[in-house]
Amino acid sequence: MSVYIPLQLKGLRPKRTLRLVLWTGEEQGGVGARQYFDRHKVNISNFDLVMESDIGTFLPVGIQFSGSEKARDIMKEIMKLLQPINVTNLYDNAEGTDIAYWMQAGVPGETNNKLPS
């Protein structure tokens, strides 16, 4: 959500639609994720990336990513922009109940990675 305010204050308009989706019930079988996918998969060609941040508040040090080689090359360019905030590592195999349906259907996925506790 914190992305929207700086964009608006700077008078910037994203090239693509940014959609923030929140739900509960992940631990009870991923009901919200499944329903959202079922309702919106008809528009799957409009989805460029799905992201999940589900491990609380932390300082990310990297990104776990799943996607095609072309998508990975784009993510490597994005990682260069994240270097000033020390998000420097790109790992394989994004995972998450909330984005699994999309990734299985071919949409690139990303989850934030933190230092091991």
**Active-site residue list:** 26
Contact 89, 113 (CB under 8 A): yes
Between the alpha carbon of residue 104 and those of residues 67, 75, 78, 98, 99, the distances in Å are: 10, 19, 23, 12, 9
Exposed (0-12), middle (13-18) or buried (19+): which is 97, by Cβ within 10 Å? middle
Residue type, 28: Q
**Cβ-based neighbour number of residue 50 at 10 Å:** 25
